[in-house]
Structures are given as structure tokens and as C-alpha cells.
Amino acid sequence: MPKIQRALISLTDKSGIAEFARGLQGFGVEILSTGGTARLLRDSGVAVRDVAEVTGFPEMLDGRVKTIHPRIAGGVLAIRSNPEHMRALQEHGIPPIDMVVVNLYAFEKAAAKEGIEMAELIENIDIGGPTLIRAAAKNYQDVAVVISPEDYAGILEEMKAGGGSLSPATHWRLAQKAFRLTADYDRAISLRLASIACVDGRFEDVKSELPPWLDLRAPLAQALRYGENPHQAAALYSDRRRGIAGAEQLQGKELSYNNLVDLDAAWQLVQEFDSPASAIIKHTNPCGCAEAESQAESYRKAFECDPVSAFGGVLAFNRPLEEETALEISKTFIEAIAAPNYSAKALAILAAKKNLRLLKVADGTPDPLVVKSISGGYLVQTADLHRLDRTAAQVKTERAPTELEWAALEFGWKVCKHVKSNAIVFARPGQTVAVGAGQMSRVDSVKVAAMKAQLPLQGAVMASDAFFPFPDGVEEAARHGITAVIQPGGSVKDAEVIAAANRLGLAMVFTGVRHFRH
């Protein structure tokens, strides 16, 4: 590749540019620049030629017009191997530009400002920057387009090794990155403006929990061995900023598609609790969950719920993993663990299980939206962030729950939200006793929970994610020793269900909130 002889530099984010420009100048590169960038470079001892000198036209309109000019665009877009292009440059005295170093007005930062006026928002839409970047990226074979300070050092190193030039592969990589930037920039502008309405000449934000456009865009973060089954291809796409997708893997085998789905289910469940909590997930359903004063105790209680299903399960904790808990975990086969952090001693214990995947999850903030694909489109809903308020719940039976039953009902209600419908959870205070998940009839979920129970059911309570359409579910639960029930209510047969609970001596609470999870 030919040596880089001339670079145009015009930046909003000027981080590291003085050092980069000095480095370019060391290779004999002429620097063209504008406005504040030119001033900063001169103050840093870098010789600069003003763009206005090249165009023969001053900057104008408060800086809106600086680089939009044929003498700049021509220098960037001319194909060096095209004789007609080069004759045109020569005829009009246009200097070829071999490198464009440009980034954009910080539109997203401006858009995030509370109460920003429309005029200010629009003024933060860059015009010349995207134009230059697209032009340089289009002519990638002849022009290196540099949009990020993180590339400065590598470019200078390559120019040093290449006698002042960059490889075709680097030109192409920089162009790909540039087109991603302009696409993301246009996306941010489009999405923000789509949320603004013009009413009688006034601009107002459209108040909605759901966006007017669903824009799914994320880089490939990790190729996966396969999907849910070996014949399916799969990958993780994420900006890796948060949650399970943004977790750091500390040890273990490569994560699978199913690992990630289960880890996310486990992580979401433990975020429900303020006390130390543990969750054991198998095929996205909890097979054990508990909270206690200590993390190790919460894990032991979660494991007690269904030790058979816990084998090969996925775990999550809402506290950094401790040594005592790690010792308990090491007694059985576990696929993967998610936790905010791990003590050095816990890591040392779990290091003996080389295939065990350990994820350190830095940010537990829930996503505001849940997105699922269906054939031909996407379903979007707000996240189910409901927390039970005991004072808002209604006791529907002659007998109110005891304090112990209330504690169990509140715990069971939190877990029930994370079980696939139809969902039934038998619980004691701070501990799942049995789980019935995903059955086609609610009474069958009750039967499955009773069948799965490893702990005594006498005196436990029952949480149901949706109403009981018939009394049979409550009757089946009472047959196994359940003493209290929490459910949304809303069935046409609520009166019959309440009557059955009264006849059986059960306490029953209606929440008015359903927790279907499909």
C-alpha cells in the first residue's frame, strides 16, 4: 500500500489526538484540520493546515459548514487507480487525502439530558462527520478512516513497521468499524426523534413504556457450540454491558446456549431477594430456591427441595460465593454458577472441578423489556417486576394466614413468578418444598409438585401463578397437607374455590396480579 501522506483530522472527542498527530507527523504526514481540533493541535506543537485554506472558503453557519466542499470530498473519494479521477484532482488542484480521523457530535449524550430543548437536540446531529466517514469508508482501498482513539496506537505501530503505510486488511477493518459507527449514530437519532411528537407546533416526548420502533442491534459476542440441540447453530449477541450476557467467565468449559438460558433464569430469580439467596435451575425451572441468614444455609435448603433434579443443574447466588457454600457445591455435579463475585477460597475449592463454568455478574439491573421472536415478528412486553405488597393483598377465606404462613406465602409468590406456567410452588418460610411446572392443567401441576416432594408437605403453603379455574387444585393441595394458598383470583368460579378452602380450613389470599411465564 502507498504511504499515507495527508490526513484530515476533525474531532469532537479529542482524547489522545495530539500524540497521534505528532506520530503521524513523524512519518511526514501533512495534517489538515478544523476549528477547535486545529487549535488544540497547534497548541500541542503540531503543524496544521486549515481546511479553509484548502477549500478557499471560510467555516460558516456556526461551524455547520466546514468540510462539506468538493475540494475535501474529492480528495477523499478519488480512486487512486482511476486515471480520470486523478486527472480531475490535478485539474482542480485538489490534494488527495489518505487518512480521515473523525468522530461525531455526542448526540446520545445530549439526548439523555433531562428537559433538553428541541433546538439543542437537533444541533447535536452531526452532518459533516458522518459524510466524511462514509466517504472515506467507501474509498477504503485508498483512504484509512479512523473513528476511535483506541485505534491510534495500533495504527502508528503498523505504520512504523510498514514504512508509513497500512495493510489492505487494516483499511478494510477500519472501514467496517466506520460503517458500524454511522449506522449506530443514525439509529440513535432515529429512535430518539421517533419518541417526540409535534403538537400544534410544540414538541413533546411521547410517554410510552414501549418504544415506537423495536430496534435490535448487537455485535456478535460469542459463537456457541450449538443451540438447544446439536443440529442447531447458535451464538450470543450482546454489547456485554450487563447481566448474564455481560458476565465474566472465570473458569470452566465453553458456555452452551442452554447454559446461558438457565443461568439467566437462575440469576433473575435470586434478584427477587434481599437476604442471602440461592437458586437451582433445571431446564429454566427452579428445582430449589431458598433464602437464609447465611449463604451456605440458603444453598443447603435449596438443595433439599429436589436433590435428584439438582444434579447437573445451574446455580445463582445474590451474594459473592463463599468458601462454605463452595464446599457444599463441590459435593455434587453442577454445570454452571452465576454470582456477583467469588472469594479466593471459594475459587480454589471449585478449581478442582475444571469443567464447572463460573460467571461473575457485575450488574443485576433487570432489563426493562422482554423480547421474544415468533414467526414473522417479535413480541415485546415490559418486564414482570411486581413485588407483593401484603397490605394490598386480600384475604378471601374465613381464616386469615398466620404470620408463619404469610412468610411462606410471600416467599412462594416470589418463586412462583419464575416457574413456567401452569406454575405451582409449595413453600415454607424461605424455602421451596416442591415445584410443579409447565403442566397443561393447574390441578396436574399440583399433583406433579406433590409427586416431586422430597420434604414433608404437612404445614406448607401453595403459590399459584394464575387463578384456579375449579376447586380441584385446592382440594388436591389440602389432601397433601397444604394449609394456605396465594393466587391472583379472577376465575368465574372464585366463589366455589373460596368455599372449598373454607370447608378444608385453608387460608387463601388473592393478589390481583397474575404471573404467567410462557
Residue 41 lies in a domain: yes
User: Do 157 and 245 lie in a common domain?
Assistant: no
Among 307, 340, 360, the domain boundary falls at 360
Residue type at 14? Answer: K
User: Do 134 and 248 lie in a common domain?
Assistant: no
Query: Domain with 477 in it: what CATH number?
Result: 3.40.140.20
Q: Strand order in 248-251's β-sheet?
A: 248-251, 357-360, 334-339, 313-317, 277-282, 285-291, 431-436, 424-428, 461-464, 484-487, 507-510, 394-395
User: Do 185 and 246 lie in a common domain?
Assistant: no
pLDDT in tens, the chain (518 residues): 788 889 999 888 888 999 999 999 989 999 998 888 889 999 998 888 887 777 766 666 666 666 778 788 888 988 888 998 989 988 888 899 999 999 887 788 887 777 778 887 888 888 888 989 999 999 999 999 999 999 999 999 999 988 888 999 999 999 999 999 999 888 888 888 888 888 877 787 778 888 888 888 888 999 999 999 999 999 999 987 789 999 999 999 999 999 999 999 999 999 999 999 999 999 999 999 999 999 999 999 999 999 999 999 999 999 999 999 999 999 999 999 999 999 999 999 999 999 999 999 988 788 889 999 999 999 999 999 999 999 899 999 999 999 999 999 999 999 999 999 999 999 999 999 999 999 999 999 999 999 999 999 999 999 999 999 999 999 999 999 999 999 999 999 999 999 999 999 999 999 999 999 99
Among 197, 220, 249, the domain boundary falls at 197
Residue 371 lies in a domain: no
User: Do 160 and 29 lie in a common domain?
Assistant: yes
Supply 122's cell numbers. Answer: 437537533
User: Do 279 and 193 lie in a common domain?
Assistant: no
Rounded-to-integer distance, Cα 264 and Cα 63, Å: 48
Residue 94 lies in a domain: yes
User: Do 321 and 409 lie in a common domain?
Assistant: no
Residue 488 lies in a domain: yes
The answer to whether residues 89 and 74 touch, using CB atoms and an 8 Å cutoff, is yes
Name 471's Cβ contacts closer than 8 Å, sequence gap at least 6: 493, 496, 497, 499, 500
Range of the domain at 457: 394-510
Supply 6's cell numbers. Answer: 495527508
pLDDT of residue 63: 64
Residue 37 lies in a domain: yes
Residue 240 lies in a domain: yes
Query: Domain with 10 in it: what CATH number?
Result: 3.40.50.1380
Q: What is the DSSP letter of 47?
A: -
User: Do 280 and 344 lie in a common domain?
Assistant: yes
Residue 256 lies in a domain: yes
pLDDT of residue 394: 96
**Of 14, 177, 253, 283, catalytic:** 283
Distances in whole angstroms, Cα of residue 168 to Cα of each of 172, 175, 192, 390:
6, 11, 36, 66
**Helices vs. strands in the chain: H and E counts, helices first:** 19, 23
pLDDT of residue 57: 65
**Of 85, 138, 353, 360, catalytic:** 138
The answer to whether residues 501 and 507 touch, using CB atoms and an 8 Å cutoff, is yes
pLDDT of residue 485: 98
Q: Rounded to 10 degrees, what is the CA torsion of 125, 131, 134, 138?
A: 170
User: Do 152 and 259 lie in a common domain?
Assistant: no
Q: How many CB atoms lie within 10 A of CB 39?
A: 12
Grouping H, G, I as helix, E, B as strand and the rest as coil, residue 401 is coil
User: Do 57 and 141 lie in a common domain?
Assistant: yes
DSSP 207-230: --SS-SS------EEEEES-SSST
Answer yes or no: 283 catalytic: yes
User: Do 85 and 173 lie in a common domain?
Assistant: yes
Bond from prior residue into 422 cis (ω within 30 degrees of 0): yes
Counting the structural domains of the chain, the total is 3
Residue 377 lies in a domain: no
Among 360, 377, 407, the domain boundary falls at 360
The answer to whether residues 26 and 159 touch, using CB atoms and an 8 Å cutoff, is no
Cα angle 197, 203, 207; round to 5: 50
User: Do 342 and 288 lie in a common domain?
Assistant: yes
User: Do 421 and 348 lie in a common domain?
Assistant: no
